[in-house]
A and B are shown apart, each in its own frame.
Chain A
Amino acid sequence: MQQAQNTKDKVSMRQLAMLYIITGFVPAIRFLPSYTALVAEEASWVSPVIAIIPIGITIFFLHKIFSRSKDKSTFDIINTILGKYVGNFMIFIHLVWVLFLLAYYTRLHGERLVSAVFPSINITFFIVIALVVTSFVLRSGATAIARMGEFITPIVILMFIFLTVFLLPKVRIDALLPVYFNDTIPLIKASLGTFSLFSYMVILLMVSTKITGKEKTAKTWIEAGLVYFIMLILLIVMTVGLLGSTVTSRAASPFLIIAKQISILDTIENIEAIVVAMWLLSDAMLIATMALVSLNIMKYFFKLSDQRNIINIMLVFTYIFSLGIASNRFEIDTFASNIIIYFNTIVGFGTPALLYIVGTIRKKI
């Protein structure tokens, strides 16, 4: 039984990278064009490039930490480097944060569908559907979710490329230029948006205790990062280039707005269903992945032999928390731009940096 459970948990670093592309792309579509357009206006599309520097440093830290601890789980590595008490405290902070993100993204999944596609449907309907699906998926274990990621990520990328082909020629250059030295400060601030999304990489490393291919950490994440960066730059170029920075910064779903403008040879229109399909597939992966990370941390933290026993309890908690997290969309948006972005940045950069510095001083890596 235990052996079967272990097989279900095996995930390769490459699969994690694929999962990252899809889980990072959902919040990017919703949040990045509006946030970067508000902060950096025409220059917003350059902001992912600025984020490459801190992300490169983070990948370096992670490679140093993980490549020399092939047989240890992320939790073991944290405890080895920081010691039992501080390490467990760090893991606990991550648990609280991931549970919060799980509830937040579950709520956003419902909010987005209600505000953009189905305005007259009760949000709980979408939240319950998402959690029921997640409940079934979680029972299959990390390996099954990672394989789902391997299958769904290329589909989502292909959908995105398809939309890009029709949207890119409509982009207005005057909406994207000028970019100059006086944009440096806004660009640094806007790059925080991209970097905060990169923090999910650290969270994903807790998806399983059996991660293989750690020796290729840097190579795998640089490759995935490049694909992700290109997608982010195209995403911002298309939204800001078509709507302008002012309209983009005020739009709740700018990518859906521009997708609705696609007309193929003045004949085929209304293909925004592709965007909705992208949302649903990516949301399903994001929620399932966050739930899996939460379960895995809880399993480690509470020394559980089988995490399946707590799936339903956790999802009921997620349901209640997702509805109670905010009373309306405005509160959620304020919360995202005032708290989540900064906490993500601290977790995303702080955890690897702390582990690397302490590990180097204590000669544990």
Chain B
Amino acid sequence: MKRFLVISILLILSIILISCSQLTGSRAEIDKIFNTRIIAIDKIEDNKVLYTITSKAGIAAEQGQQAVKTTTIITSEGATVFEAVRNMLQYAHKRPHYGHTEFILFGEDTAKDGILPYLDFISRNQEFRYNAKIYIVRELTANSFLEKLNSGDLYLADRLSIIEDNSNKLSKSGRVTLAEALFVFSKENVSTFLPVISIAPTKAGESPSEGKYDMILKDYAIFDQDKLFAFLDDELSMGVNWVKNRILSGVILVDAPDKKKVAMEIIQSKTSIKPYIDENGLQCTISIKFNTNIAETMSTEKIFTIESIDILKQLQEMQVKKDVENILNYAQEKDMDIFGLVSNFVMKYPMMKNELRANWRELFSEIKFKVEVDSNINTTYVIKESATSK
């Protein structure tokens, strides 16, 4: 009798848990859930928040035709992000779920005002994940960026995901997760960088296609605390990646003896930072070691000799050194430690932790940097000489 009672109670509880929506209010059928993959946040007039979410909304193809892969975009407004999220429920055809959110986009103007107030809801809400990536949309609101790109060739999130993976081949941008961003934003007197996405009309031949746009992921935006300060160009962005040891691959262009271009493909790289303090003040040696392969030569000269390889090696080292020195000079001019170098100094001089952290802005601009670059050219690919060499 007792066993029967226990089994009955367990059965009743199980039935209640899976079917009673009054008791378990968060229950929802899977076909009624809007699995959000991108959220976009913009500040609009009256300090209101324009909140946009996207998810897949494929339309089945008719016989012999390709399926249209449009993305469903829902927008909402509110005085805060949370209010906008709730206001959306007044007309959203499905219940938004944020457990699969991969990308968080901020419009340029919103980023200039500071993104931390908008990140509060995302970092507080139990559905979001801290490995979602943050991007800054250049020259547009994040909402119009999504609207313009929703052409139907590919789901927006898939498109962004593919470009993000491909960006490793250039190392002119990168990915920054919510956890990484919050980590830096919580530090005093340290700046950070976030990747930038933008759009450009799709080119068909020499003229742009009507109403079609490409999504472009390149460059970094740098932040003074949580406010967008400036956009970096290609070379400065790559300089950031060299200093932060975030180079995965990439292209270095150098001149052959006949001034024609030779393209080197970065295969491996390693950056080490050695800070020290002496009678001359704060000093820092940045040592970069990298390997390349010769990916292409437009020169007709014989460049695959020991002497020529040595010259190419020196040229690529000079190119990298220039990129790194440029970004270091830029950061020092603006008094912005976007590399988090304070951590390197604090780790080496822990007794000076409080002093270094409190005065880091002033101290950073006084650091004397020494950049050391060492490289090796490993190999080339399936032919040893240029097909057109003399």
Contacts and interface: CB of A to CB of B under 8 A. Distances in A.
Interface of A: 115-122, 125, 129, 132, 136, 172, 174-175, 177-182, 242-244, 246-247, 257-258, 260-261, 263, 270
A166 to B, nearest CB: 12
B86 to A, nearest CB: 13
A350 to B, nearest CB: 35
A244 B182 contact: yes
Contact of B350 (A182, A244, A247, A261): A182
Given A115-B126, A260-B130, A177 B347 contact: yes
B130 A257 contact: yes
A118 B24 contact: yes
A261 B130 contact: yes
A324 to B, nearest CB: 23
Interface in B3-20: 6, 9, 13
Contact of B183 (A117, A136, A175, A261): A175
18 contacts: A118-B24, A120-B26, A122-B23, A125-B23, A136-B6, A178-B347, A178-B350, A180-B351, A182-B353, A242-B179, A243-B179, A243-B183, A244-B182, A244-B186, A244-B187, A247-B182, A260-B130, A261-B131
A180 B350 contact: yes
A247 B186 contact: yes
A174 B186 CA distance: 14
A179 B350 CA distance: 7
A260 B24 contact: no
B129 A260 contact: yes
B24 A174 contact: no
Contacts, number: 67
Contacts of A244: 182-183, 186-187
B340 A174 contact: yes
Contact of A243 (B6, B182, B344, B351): B182
A178 B131 contact: no
A121 B23 contact: yes
B155 to A, nearest CB: 17
B131 A182 contact: no
B353 A261 contact: no
B343 interface: yes
Contacts of A136: 6
Contact of A178 (B23, B25, B26, B353): B353
Nearest to B182: A247
A115 B130 CA distance: 17
Interface in B97-138: 99, 123, 126, 129-131
A172 B183 contact: yes
A125 B24 CA distance: 9
Contacts of A175: 183
